[in-house]
Structure 1
Amino acid sequence: MTDETWARIRGLLAGTQPDSIEEGLGLLEAEIDRIGPDEAEALLEIVSPLFYIDTLDHPELVPALDRALSLTARLGDRLIPLLVKRLDAADMKAQWAIAHALGRVGPPAVPPLIKAYESATDTMMHAFILYALGKTRSEEVVRAVPLALEAAASPNIELRDTATRALGKFAESIPPGRLPAELRRRCLERLQENLADEEPSVRAKAVRSMGKLARHGHLTEGERGTLRVICRNLTGEDVSGEWDRAYIVRKEAAEALGWLEPR
Protein backbone atom coordinates (compact mmCIF):
# COMPACT_ATOMS: atom_id res chain seq x y z
CA MET A 1 0.00 0.00 0.00
CA THR A 2 1.35 3.42 -0.88
CA ASP A 3 2.18 5.98 1.77
CA GLU A 4 -0.49 8.24 0.29
CA THR A 5 -3.16 5.55 0.68
CA TRP A 6 -2.07 4.82 4.26
CA ALA A 7 -2.27 8.51 5.09
CA ARG A 8 -5.72 8.87 3.54
CA ILE A 9 -7.10 5.84 5.39
CA ARG A 10 -5.58 7.01 8.65
CA GLY A 11 -7.14 10.44 8.26
CA LEU A 12 -10.59 9.08 7.44
CA LEU A 13 -10.59 6.61 10.34
CA ALA A 14 -9.49 9.32 12.76
CA GLY A 15 -12.71 11.23 12.14
CA THR A 16 -15.99 10.96 13.98
CA GLN A 17 -18.44 11.00 11.08
CA PRO A 18 -19.86 7.62 10.05
CA ASP A 19 -19.53 8.40 6.34
CA SER A 20 -15.84 9.26 6.65
CA ILE A 21 -15.09 6.18 8.72
CA GLU A 22 -16.98 3.95 6.29
CA GLU A 23 -15.05 5.48 3.39
CA GLY A 24 -11.78 4.74 5.17
CA LEU A 25 -12.83 1.17 5.88
CA GLY A 26 -13.85 0.77 2.25
CA LEU A 27 -10.40 1.85 1.08
CA LEU A 28 -8.83 -0.51 3.59
CA GLU A 29 -10.98 -3.41 2.43
CA ALA A 30 -9.91 -2.80 -1.16
CA GLU A 31 -6.27 -3.11 -0.12
CA ILE A 32 -6.43 -5.71 2.62
CA ASP A 33 -5.58 -8.75 0.51
CA ARG A 34 -2.39 -7.01 -0.62
CA ILE A 35 -1.22 -6.11 2.87
CA GLY A 36 2.03 -7.85 3.70
CA PRO A 37 3.20 -9.24 7.04
CA ASP A 38 5.20 -6.10 7.75
CA GLU A 39 2.12 -3.93 7.27
CA ALA A 40 -0.26 -5.92 9.47
CA GLU A 41 0.77 -4.17 12.67
CA ALA A 42 0.45 -0.77 11.00
CA LEU A 43 -3.08 -1.70 9.95
CA LEU A 44 -3.97 -2.61 13.52
CA GLU A 45 -2.59 0.72 14.72
CA ILE A 46 -4.90 2.73 12.48
CA VAL A 47 -7.97 0.53 13.01
CA SER A 48 -7.71 -0.09 16.75
CA PRO A 49 -8.89 3.40 17.84
CA LEU A 50 -12.31 2.30 16.58
CA PHE A 51 -12.28 -0.42 19.23
CA TYR A 52 -12.68 2.29 21.87
CA ILE A 53 -15.98 3.55 20.47
CA ASP A 54 -18.70 3.72 23.09
CA THR A 55 -21.60 2.30 21.10
CA LEU A 56 -24.11 3.39 23.74
CA ASP A 57 -23.11 7.00 23.17
CA HIS A 58 -22.62 6.53 19.43
CA PRO A 59 -24.98 3.83 18.15
CA GLU A 60 -24.59 5.27 14.66
CA LEU A 61 -21.03 3.89 14.64
CA VAL A 62 -21.99 0.28 15.41
CA PRO A 63 -21.88 -0.78 11.72
CA ALA A 64 -18.43 0.80 11.33
CA LEU A 65 -17.10 -0.98 14.40
CA ASP A 66 -18.52 -4.30 13.20
CA ARG A 67 -16.89 -3.83 9.81
CA ALA A 68 -13.57 -2.90 11.42
CA LEU A 69 -13.62 -6.09 13.50
CA SER A 70 -14.33 -8.22 10.44
CA LEU A 71 -11.51 -6.58 8.48
CA THR A 72 -9.13 -7.11 11.38
CA ALA A 73 -10.09 -10.78 11.57
CA ARG A 74 -9.39 -11.24 7.86
CA LEU A 75 -5.67 -10.83 8.54
CA GLY A 76 -5.87 -13.94 10.71
CA ASP A 77 -2.52 -15.43 11.67
CA ARG A 78 -0.67 -12.19 11.05
CA LEU A 79 -2.52 -10.36 13.81
CA ILE A 80 -3.36 -13.06 16.36
CA PRO A 81 -0.31 -12.46 18.63
CA LEU A 82 -0.88 -8.70 18.57
CA LEU A 83 -4.59 -9.05 19.31
CA VAL A 84 -3.98 -11.47 22.17
CA LYS A 85 -1.46 -9.06 23.66
CA ARG A 86 -3.95 -6.20 23.37
CA LEU A 87 -6.59 -8.17 25.25
CA ASP A 88 -4.81 -6.83 28.30
CA ALA A 89 -5.84 -3.28 27.36
CA ALA A 90 -6.97 -0.96 30.12
CA ASP A 91 -10.24 -0.04 28.39
CA MET A 92 -13.01 -2.61 28.69
CA LYS A 93 -14.69 -1.50 25.45
CA ALA A 94 -11.50 -2.25 23.55
CA GLN A 95 -11.13 -5.60 25.30
CA TRP A 96 -14.62 -6.70 24.24
CA ALA A 97 -13.95 -5.55 20.67
CA ILE A 98 -10.62 -7.38 20.47
CA ALA A 99 -12.25 -10.53 21.87
CA HIS A 100 -14.86 -10.31 19.10
CA ALA A 101 -12.15 -9.89 16.47
CA LEU A 102 -10.26 -12.92 17.77
CA GLY A 103 -13.44 -14.96 17.72
CA ARG A 104 -13.98 -14.05 14.08
CA VAL A 105 -10.48 -15.23 13.16
CA GLY A 106 -11.74 -18.76 13.75
CA PRO A 107 -9.79 -22.00 14.35
CA PRO A 108 -6.26 -20.51 14.10
CA ALA A 109 -6.99 -18.36 17.15
CA VAL A 110 -7.83 -21.27 19.47
CA PRO A 111 -4.31 -22.57 20.35
CA PRO A 112 -2.84 -19.08 21.00
CA LEU A 113 -5.83 -18.13 23.13
CA ILE A 114 -5.52 -21.30 25.21
CA LYS A 115 -1.80 -20.68 25.63
CA ALA A 116 -2.48 -17.09 26.68
CA TYR A 117 -5.09 -18.28 29.18
CA GLU A 118 -2.71 -20.77 30.74
CA SER A 119 0.04 -18.18 31.13
CA ALA A 120 -2.19 -15.33 32.35
CA THR A 121 -2.60 -14.60 36.03
CA ASP A 122 -5.21 -11.85 35.83
CA THR A 123 -8.80 -12.95 36.38
CA MET A 124 -10.26 -10.46 33.91
CA MET A 125 -7.77 -11.55 31.26
CA HIS A 126 -9.05 -15.09 31.76
CA ALA A 127 -12.62 -13.85 31.34
CA PHE A 128 -11.89 -12.00 28.09
CA ILE A 129 -10.03 -15.00 26.66
CA LEU A 130 -12.97 -17.29 27.44
CA TYR A 131 -15.30 -14.74 25.88
CA ALA A 132 -13.16 -14.73 22.72
CA LEU A 133 -13.11 -18.53 22.63
CA GLY A 134 -16.88 -18.54 23.00
CA LYS A 135 -17.10 -16.36 19.89
CA THR A 136 -14.95 -18.78 17.90
CA ARG A 137 -16.98 -20.98 15.56
CA SER A 138 -14.78 -24.05 15.53
CA GLU A 139 -14.99 -27.50 17.06
CA GLU A 140 -11.41 -26.90 18.20
CA VAL A 141 -12.89 -25.06 21.19
CA VAL A 142 -13.43 -28.49 22.74
CA ARG A 143 -9.83 -28.08 23.90
CA ALA A 144 -10.91 -25.10 26.01
CA VAL A 145 -13.74 -26.91 27.82
CA PRO A 146 -11.55 -27.92 30.82
CA LEU A 147 -10.50 -24.29 31.25
CA ALA A 148 -14.10 -23.12 31.25
CA LEU A 149 -15.14 -25.84 33.68
CA GLU A 150 -12.54 -24.73 36.19
CA ALA A 151 -13.39 -21.05 35.69
CA ALA A 152 -17.13 -21.71 36.09
CA ALA A 153 -16.38 -22.59 39.72
CA SER A 154 -14.30 -19.45 40.32
CA PRO A 155 -15.08 -17.26 43.34
CA ASN A 156 -14.82 -14.27 40.99
CA ILE A 157 -18.30 -13.41 39.71
CA GLU A 158 -17.17 -12.03 36.34
CA LEU A 159 -15.07 -15.07 35.52
CA ARG A 160 -17.70 -17.50 36.81
CA ASP A 161 -20.39 -15.75 34.75
CA THR A 162 -18.30 -15.66 31.57
CA ALA A 163 -17.20 -19.29 31.90
CA THR A 164 -20.75 -20.51 32.52
CA ARG A 165 -21.82 -18.73 29.34
CA ALA A 166 -18.80 -20.09 27.43
CA LEU A 167 -19.80 -23.70 28.10
CA GLY A 168 -23.01 -23.09 26.20
CA LYS A 169 -21.22 -21.26 23.39
CA PHE A 170 -18.82 -24.17 23.03
CA ALA A 171 -21.79 -26.53 22.74
CA GLU A 172 -22.90 -24.57 19.67
CA SER A 173 -19.58 -25.20 17.90
CA ILE A 174 -18.82 -28.78 18.92
CA PRO A 175 -20.64 -31.36 16.76
CA PRO A 176 -22.77 -33.99 18.52
CA GLY A 177 -20.62 -36.90 19.61
CA ARG A 178 -17.41 -34.86 19.59
CA LEU A 179 -17.66 -33.75 23.20
CA PRO A 180 -15.92 -36.51 25.20
CA ALA A 181 -18.25 -38.30 27.60
CA GLU A 182 -16.28 -37.32 30.70
CA LEU A 183 -16.24 -33.64 29.72
CA ARG A 184 -19.94 -33.78 28.88
CA ARG A 185 -20.68 -35.24 32.31
CA ARG A 186 -18.58 -32.58 34.01
CA CYS A 187 -20.31 -29.83 32.03
CA LEU A 188 -23.72 -31.01 33.19
CA GLU A 189 -22.58 -31.32 36.80
CA ARG A 190 -21.00 -27.87 36.85
CA LEU A 191 -23.97 -26.19 35.19
CA GLN A 192 -26.38 -27.88 37.60
CA GLU A 193 -24.28 -26.64 40.51
CA ASN A 194 -24.34 -23.13 39.06
CA LEU A 195 -28.13 -23.24 38.96
CA ALA A 196 -27.86 -22.72 42.72
CA ASP A 197 -25.48 -19.75 42.40
CA GLU A 198 -26.33 -16.70 44.49
CA GLU A 199 -26.00 -14.49 41.40
CA PRO A 200 -29.07 -14.49 39.10
CA SER A 201 -26.90 -13.80 36.04
CA VAL A 202 -24.90 -16.98 36.66
CA ARG A 203 -28.05 -19.04 37.21
CA ALA A 204 -29.52 -17.65 33.99
CA LYS A 205 -26.42 -18.51 31.99
CA ALA A 206 -26.30 -21.97 33.55
CA VAL A 207 -29.81 -22.84 32.39
CA ARG A 208 -29.14 -21.23 28.99
CA SER A 209 -26.00 -23.32 28.54
CA MET A 210 -27.82 -26.48 29.55
CA GLY A 211 -30.46 -25.63 26.99
CA LYS A 212 -27.76 -25.27 24.34
CA LEU A 213 -26.35 -28.66 25.24
CA ALA A 214 -29.83 -30.04 24.55
CA ARG A 215 -30.41 -27.99 21.41
CA HIS A 216 -27.13 -29.05 19.82
CA GLY A 217 -27.45 -32.77 20.47
CA HIS A 218 -25.18 -33.25 23.47
CA LEU A 219 -27.77 -34.70 25.89
CA THR A 220 -29.30 -38.15 26.10
CA GLU A 221 -33.07 -38.51 26.24
CA GLY A 222 -32.83 -39.17 29.96
CA GLU A 223 -30.78 -36.02 30.49
CA ARG A 224 -33.23 -34.01 28.41
CA GLY A 225 -36.04 -35.31 30.61
CA THR A 226 -34.18 -34.29 33.75
CA LEU A 227 -33.57 -30.83 32.32
CA ARG A 228 -37.27 -30.48 31.47
CA VAL A 229 -38.09 -31.11 35.12
CA ILE A 230 -35.50 -28.54 36.23
CA CYS A 231 -36.80 -25.89 33.82
CA ARG A 232 -40.42 -26.45 34.82
CA ASN A 233 -39.40 -26.07 38.43
CA LEU A 234 -37.56 -22.82 37.66
CA THR A 235 -40.54 -21.38 35.78
CA GLY A 236 -43.09 -22.55 38.34
CA GLU A 237 -44.87 -24.83 35.87
CA ASP A 238 -44.67 -27.92 38.06
CA VAL A 239 -46.82 -28.73 41.08
CA SER A 240 -44.19 -27.85 43.67
CA GLY A 241 -45.20 -24.20 43.71
CA GLU A 242 -41.55 -23.13 43.69
CA TRP A 243 -39.79 -21.04 41.07
CA ASP A 244 -36.72 -18.91 40.65
CA ARG A 245 -37.46 -15.38 41.81
CA ALA A 246 -35.22 -13.83 39.15
CA TYR A 247 -37.05 -13.05 35.91
CA ILE A 248 -33.95 -13.58 33.76
CA VAL A 249 -33.62 -17.13 35.09
CA ARG A 250 -37.29 -17.93 34.45
CA LYS A 251 -36.99 -16.44 30.95
CA GLU A 252 -33.99 -18.62 30.08
CA ALA A 253 -35.70 -21.69 31.53
CA ALA A 254 -38.81 -21.03 29.44
CA GLU A 255 -36.70 -20.72 26.29
CA ALA A 256 -34.82 -23.91 27.10
CA LEU A 257 -38.12 -25.77 27.45
CA GLY A 258 -38.77 -25.00 23.80
CA TRP A 259 -35.81 -27.21 22.87
CA LEU A 260 -36.71 -29.98 25.27
CA GLU A 261 -39.92 -31.34 23.83
CA PRO A 262 -39.69 -35.12 23.34
CA ARG A 263 -38.19 -35.96 19.95
Structure 2
Amino acid sequence: MTNLKTLHFYATPEHDCSYLEGFEAKTLFVDPQEIITTDAYSQLSDLGFRRSGKHIYRPYCANCQACISVRVDIGNFAASKSQKRIINKNRDLKVVTVPAQFTDEYYDLYAKYINTRHSDGDMFPPTPDQFSAFLIDGGQKGCFFEFRDPDNKLVALAVTDFLNQGLSAIYTFFDPDETQRSLGTFAILWQIKETKRQDLDYLYLGYWIRECQKMAYKVAYHPLEMLLHGQWIPVD
Protein backbone atom coordinates (compact mmCIF):
# COMPACT_ATOMS: atom_id res chain seq x y z
CA MET A 1 0.00 0.00 0.00
CA THR A 2 1.27 3.46 -0.90
CA ASN A 3 2.82 5.40 1.97
CA LEU A 4 1.14 8.79 2.01
CA LYS A 5 4.21 10.27 3.67
CA THR A 6 6.06 9.96 0.36
CA LEU A 7 3.50 12.08 -1.53
CA HIS A 8 4.13 15.74 -2.23
CA PHE A 9 1.47 18.32 -1.43
CA TYR A 10 1.07 21.94 -2.51
CA ALA A 11 -1.07 24.68 -0.97
CA THR A 12 -2.62 27.46 -3.02
CA PRO A 13 -2.48 31.13 -2.02
CA GLU A 14 -5.62 32.43 -0.37
CA HIS A 15 -8.44 33.16 -2.80
CA ASP A 16 -12.11 34.06 -2.68
CA CYS A 17 -14.20 31.23 -1.27
CA SER A 18 -16.58 29.67 -3.81
CA TYR A 19 -19.18 28.87 -1.15
CA LEU A 20 -19.15 31.55 1.55
CA GLU A 21 -19.29 35.17 0.47
CA GLY A 22 -16.67 37.38 2.08
CA PHE A 23 -14.44 34.45 3.11
CA GLU A 24 -10.95 33.59 1.91
CA ALA A 25 -10.13 29.98 1.08
CA LYS A 26 -6.97 27.91 0.72
CA THR A 27 -6.65 24.48 -0.89
CA LEU A 28 -4.18 21.63 -0.39
CA PHE A 29 -3.41 19.61 -3.54
CA VAL A 30 -1.60 16.34 -4.08
CA ASP A 31 1.15 16.90 -6.65
CA PRO A 32 -0.66 16.14 -9.95
CA GLN A 33 2.53 14.48 -11.25
CA GLU A 34 2.26 11.77 -8.59
CA ILE A 35 0.93 8.35 -9.58
CA ILE A 36 -1.98 7.80 -7.22
CA THR A 37 -2.95 4.16 -6.76
CA THR A 38 -6.42 3.08 -5.72
CA ASP A 39 -5.01 2.26 -2.27
CA ALA A 40 -3.60 5.77 -1.88
CA TYR A 41 -6.75 7.39 -3.26
CA SER A 42 -8.85 5.39 -0.80
CA GLN A 43 -6.66 6.52 2.11
CA LEU A 44 -6.81 10.13 0.95
CA SER A 45 -10.60 9.94 0.73
CA ASP A 46 -10.71 8.84 4.37
CA LEU A 47 -8.64 11.95 5.18
CA GLY A 48 -11.15 14.24 3.51
CA PHE A 49 -9.64 14.60 0.03
CA ARG A 50 -11.76 14.81 -3.13
CA ARG A 51 -11.04 14.54 -6.84
CA SER A 52 -11.71 17.09 -9.57
CA GLY A 53 -10.25 15.87 -12.85
CA LYS A 54 -6.59 15.08 -12.25
CA HIS A 55 -6.51 17.11 -9.04
CA ILE A 56 -6.95 15.50 -5.61
CA TYR A 57 -7.51 18.18 -2.98
CA ARG A 58 -9.05 19.24 0.30
CA PRO A 59 -9.77 22.60 1.95
CA TYR A 60 -6.79 23.98 3.90
CA CYS A 61 -8.15 27.14 5.47
CA ALA A 62 -6.39 28.34 8.62
CA ASN A 63 -9.34 30.10 10.23
CA CYS A 64 -12.35 28.24 8.88
CA GLN A 65 -13.52 24.63 9.22
CA ALA A 66 -16.85 25.07 7.44
CA CYS A 67 -16.18 22.41 4.76
CA ILE A 68 -16.94 19.03 6.33
CA SER A 69 -16.44 15.73 4.49
CA VAL A 70 -19.50 13.48 4.64
CA ARG A 71 -20.23 9.88 3.72
CA VAL A 72 -23.24 7.56 3.95
CA ASP A 73 -23.02 4.48 6.18
CA ILE A 74 -24.34 1.95 3.65
CA GLY A 75 -24.88 -0.98 6.02
CA ASN A 76 -27.29 1.02 8.17
CA PHE A 77 -28.91 3.22 5.53
CA ALA A 78 -32.69 3.35 5.50
CA ALA A 79 -34.57 5.35 2.88
CA SER A 80 -37.13 7.84 4.15
CA LYS A 81 -40.73 7.82 2.94
CA SER A 82 -40.06 10.65 0.52
CA GLN A 83 -36.94 8.89 -0.79
CA LYS A 84 -38.93 5.70 -1.33
CA ARG A 85 -41.44 7.71 -3.37
CA ILE A 86 -38.62 9.05 -5.53
CA ILE A 87 -37.29 5.52 -6.05
CA ASN A 88 -40.75 4.33 -7.13
CA LYS A 89 -41.16 7.34 -9.42
CA ASN A 90 -37.99 6.39 -11.31
CA ARG A 91 -38.44 2.64 -11.60
CA ASP A 92 -38.82 3.05 -15.36
CA LEU A 93 -35.25 4.35 -15.71
CA LYS A 94 -32.48 2.09 -16.97
CA VAL A 95 -28.99 2.57 -15.52
CA VAL A 96 -25.94 1.53 -17.54
CA THR A 97 -22.29 1.62 -16.45
CA VAL A 98 -19.95 3.04 -19.11
CA PRO A 99 -16.32 4.23 -19.17
CA ALA A 100 -15.65 7.91 -18.48
CA GLN A 101 -15.61 9.51 -21.91
CA PHE A 102 -16.65 12.54 -23.93
CA THR A 103 -19.70 12.33 -26.19
CA ASP A 104 -21.86 15.07 -27.66
CA GLU A 105 -24.85 13.60 -25.84
CA TYR A 106 -23.12 13.83 -22.46
CA TYR A 107 -21.82 17.31 -23.07
CA ASP A 108 -25.16 18.67 -24.31
CA LEU A 109 -26.86 17.48 -21.13
CA TYR A 110 -24.03 18.86 -18.98
CA ALA A 111 -24.15 22.27 -20.70
CA LYS A 112 -27.93 22.44 -20.33
CA TYR A 113 -27.63 21.61 -16.64
CA ILE A 114 -24.88 24.15 -15.91
CA ASN A 115 -26.59 26.91 -17.90
CA THR A 116 -29.89 26.30 -16.12
CA ARG A 117 -28.86 25.42 -12.57
CA HIS A 118 -25.38 26.91 -12.04
CA SER A 119 -25.04 30.03 -14.15
CA ASP A 120 -23.76 31.81 -11.03
CA GLY A 121 -21.03 29.24 -10.28
CA ASP A 122 -17.40 28.54 -11.12
CA MET A 123 -18.31 26.10 -13.91
CA PHE A 124 -20.19 28.70 -15.95
CA PRO A 125 -19.96 29.02 -18.87
CA PRO A 126 -19.48 25.33 -19.73
CA THR A 127 -17.06 24.28 -22.46
CA PRO A 128 -16.07 20.87 -23.87
CA ASP A 129 -12.53 21.29 -22.52
CA GLN A 130 -13.89 22.08 -19.06
CA PHE A 131 -16.13 19.00 -19.17
CA SER A 132 -13.16 16.77 -19.99
CA ALA A 133 -10.82 18.38 -17.45
CA PHE A 134 -13.44 18.16 -14.68
CA LEU A 135 -15.06 14.77 -15.27
CA ILE A 136 -12.77 12.62 -17.42
CA ASP A 137 -9.14 13.50 -16.75
CA GLY A 138 -7.39 12.01 -13.75
CA GLY A 139 -6.74 8.36 -14.47
CA GLN A 140 -8.51 7.12 -11.32
CA LYS A 141 -10.60 3.97 -11.36
CA GLY A 142 -14.11 5.20 -12.05
CA CYS A 143 -17.02 5.27 -14.48
CA PHE A 144 -20.13 7.06 -15.67
CA PHE A 145 -23.58 5.80 -14.70
CA GLU A 146 -26.10 6.62 -17.44
CA PHE A 147 -29.73 7.07 -16.45
CA ARG A 148 -32.07 6.61 -19.44
CA ASP A 149 -35.85 6.78 -19.74
CA PRO A 150 -38.00 4.21 -21.63
CA ASP A 151 -37.37 6.12 -24.89
CA ASN A 152 -33.60 5.75 -24.30
CA LYS A 153 -33.24 9.47 -23.64
CA LEU A 154 -30.33 10.33 -21.34
CA VAL A 155 -31.86 12.14 -18.37
CA ALA A 156 -28.96 12.02 -15.89
CA LEU A 157 -25.34 11.01 -15.60
CA ALA A 158 -23.43 10.27 -12.40
CA VAL A 159 -19.62 10.42 -12.33
CA THR A 160 -18.36 7.95 -9.73
CA ASP A 161 -14.98 6.69 -8.52
CA PHE A 162 -14.24 3.29 -7.01
CA LEU A 163 -12.47 3.12 -3.64
CA ASN A 164 -11.43 0.10 -1.61
CA GLN A 165 -14.04 0.90 1.04
CA GLY A 166 -16.78 2.45 -1.06
CA LEU A 167 -17.80 4.64 -3.96
CA SER A 168 -17.11 8.35 -4.30
CA ALA A 169 -19.89 10.39 -5.91
CA ILE A 170 -17.86 12.94 -7.85
CA TYR A 171 -20.61 14.80 -9.70
CA THR A 172 -24.11 14.30 -11.06
CA PHE A 173 -25.88 16.32 -13.72
CA PHE A 174 -29.36 15.82 -15.10
CA ASP A 175 -32.06 17.24 -17.34
CA PRO A 176 -33.41 20.32 -15.52
CA ASP A 177 -36.74 19.90 -17.35
CA GLU A 178 -37.39 16.60 -15.53
CA THR A 179 -38.10 18.24 -12.17
CA GLN A 180 -40.87 15.79 -11.26
CA ARG A 181 -38.36 12.94 -11.11
CA SER A 182 -36.02 14.50 -8.47
CA LEU A 183 -33.12 13.08 -10.45
CA GLY A 184 -30.37 14.44 -8.22
CA THR A 185 -31.82 12.63 -5.22
CA PHE A 186 -32.51 9.48 -7.19
CA ALA A 187 -28.94 9.35 -8.52
CA ILE A 188 -27.59 9.34 -4.96
CA LEU A 189 -30.11 6.72 -3.84
CA TRP A 190 -29.15 4.55 -6.80
CA GLN A 191 -25.44 4.90 -5.96
CA ILE A 192 -26.21 3.91 -2.37
CA LYS A 193 -27.90 0.77 -3.70
CA GLU A 194 -24.95 0.11 -6.03
CA THR A 195 -22.47 0.55 -3.19
CA LYS A 196 -24.41 -2.01 -1.17
CA ARG A 197 -24.58 -4.38 -4.16
CA GLN A 198 -20.79 -4.26 -4.38
CA ASP A 199 -20.61 -5.07 -0.65
CA LEU A 200 -18.83 -1.79 0.14
CA ASP A 201 -19.22 0.29 3.27
CA TYR A 202 -19.56 3.96 2.27
CA LEU A 203 -20.73 6.39 -0.36
CA TYR A 204 -18.65 9.56 -0.15
CA LEU A 205 -20.62 12.72 -0.95
CA GLY A 206 -17.87 15.32 -0.75
CA TYR A 207 -18.15 18.44 1.40
CA TRP A 208 -21.09 19.77 3.35
CA ILE A 209 -21.26 23.39 4.53
CA ARG A 210 -23.99 24.31 6.97
CA GLU A 211 -24.35 27.83 5.59
CA CYS A 212 -24.45 26.74 1.92
CA GLN A 213 -28.02 26.00 0.80
CA LYS A 214 -26.87 24.13 -2.31
CA MET A 215 -25.25 21.50 -0.07
CA ALA A 216 -28.23 21.03 2.25
CA TYR A 217 -29.38 17.90 0.40
CA LYS A 218 -26.38 15.91 1.63
CA VAL A 219 -27.71 15.60 5.19
CA ALA A 220 -30.90 13.87 3.97
CA TYR A 221 -29.22 10.44 3.80
CA HIS A 222 -29.12 8.58 7.12
CA PRO A 223 -27.05 7.51 8.86
CA LEU A 224 -24.48 10.06 7.78
CA GLU A 225 -20.90 10.30 9.03
CA MET A 226 -18.88 13.54 9.16
CA LEU A 227 -15.12 13.92 9.34
CA LEU A 228 -14.62 16.02 12.47
CA HIS A 229 -11.17 16.65 13.98
CA GLY A 230 -9.73 13.75 11.99
CA GLN A 231 -12.37 11.20 13.03
CA TRP A 232 -15.46 9.96 11.18
CA ILE A 233 -18.38 10.60 13.53
CA PRO A 234 -21.99 9.40 13.05
CA VAL A 235 -24.38 12.34 13.17
CA ASP A 236 -28.14 12.69 13.47
Please state which band the TM-score falls in when normalised by the shorter chain. under 0.3
Higher strand share: 2
User: TM-score by structure 2 length?
Assistant: 0.28
User: TM-score by structure 1 length?
Assistant: 0.26
Q: Quick one: higher RCO (CA 8 Å, sep 6+), 1 or 2?
A: 2
Higher helix share: 1
Larger Rg: 1 or 2? Answer: 1
